[in-house]
Chains A and B, each alone.
Chain A
Amino acid sequence: MSPARESFRRGVRLGFPFATAGLLVSASFGVLAVEAGMSAVQAIAMSAIVFAGSAQFAAISIVATGGTVAAAVGAAALMNSRFLPMGMALAPSLPGGAPLRAAQGQPIVDASWVMANLGDGRFDRHLLFGSTAPQYVTWLGGTALGALAGGALDAQALGLDAIFPAFFMGLLIPELRSRVNAAVALAAALVALSLIEVTPPGVPVLAASLVALWGLRR
């Protein structure tokens, strides 16, 4: 088997637990989207072509609470703004011309990006693609389940809103083994907490990413 194929397969295996958890996350999205007034087809279409959890949750909640489409799209852009530094980090590990590079940026999702990160500034792109593949499949499947069952479920009573942050906790915990990482995570949490009430959604996360500049010292 070629090394690329082997990396891809390893990625699929590594992506599996996140894909399973993602099924629950996307099911909770499907329920919330229908509660917010989308049709099941629209909820599924959004997951298929947007495929970015935090942006989808943010956009839906803003429109559901009376915000404009422009405000919701702006919040989605801010939530996704973390993919900008993540894409820049991935860039040196990608081959090809502009269209191919743009396409290879699309499978970036948090779990895959973290796992494909080799720790020295380089990335295993085939592992990233492999890990995202099962996550995409379950993201669609879960959204469909949630959207179709939607009316019959009470998202709040079932605690579905706790699923999404718990999923990120699963990505964060292994990162905390190193003292520097733990200190950066704590500082980022404090930055984000202090901005929640004074900036639009998405800004606290983007501002907290600046804590990573701590890596510049030395």
Chain B
Amino acid sequence: MSDATAWALIAGCAVVTFAIKAAGPVALGGRELPDWFGRVVALLAPALLSALIVTQAFADGEELAVGADTAGVAAAGAALWRGVPIVAAVLIAAGVTAALRAVA
């Protein structure tokens, strides 16, 4: 990409990220929210995290794809389930993915 394209991309991403992160705190002010809000918020974390994982691990761009990275992420998940620290888990993910690509 050209220099100008890269800077335009950076500026655009910076502006939208700032606006989105600021919007909730500014628009809602400090007012108390009803009970149901807390229950929805508590479920937001597992919903968002799980969607972020599958869209990264099961897709190449806009196509569904199961590959070496899918296996790497699954291995990391299994390790984390057994109590392995997160730093070790990301290394396992990269290691398994790299190993599978090396033999493929």
Contact = CB atoms under 8 A, between A and B. Distances in A.
Interface in B47-93: 47-59, 61-64, 68-69, 72-73, 76-77, 80-81, 85-87, 89-93
B65 to A, nearest CB: 9
A-B pairs with lowest CB-CB distance, top 9? A121-B38, A87-B24, A159-B97, A166-B93, A208-B51, A215-B39, A102-B22, A170-B86, A73-B12
A192 B26 contact: no
Contacts of B80: 169-170, 173
B47 A185 contact: yes
B51 A204 contact: yes
A12 interface: no
A32 B53 CA distance: 19
Given A24-B91, A208-B50, A95 B30 contact: yes
B14 A49 contact: yes
Given A117-B42, A205-B55, A212-B44, A192 B17 contact: no
B10 A46 contact: yes
A191 B52 CA distance: 11
A165 B10 contact: no
Interface in A138-185: 156-173, 175-176, 180-182, 184-185
B55 A52 contact: no
A24 B97 CA distance: 15
A196 B52 contact: no
A165 B91 CA distance: 12
A84 interface: yes
A192 B62 CA distance: 12
Contacts of A163: 90, 93-94
Interface string B36-48: 1111111111111
A13 to B, nearest CB: 14
A129 interface: no
B86 A18 contact: yes
Nearest to B62: A197
Contacts of A170: 76, 80, 86, 89-90
A151 B6 CA distance: 18
B67 to A, nearest CB: 9
B22 A105 contact: yes
Given A91-B28, A159-B98, A169 B73 contact: yes
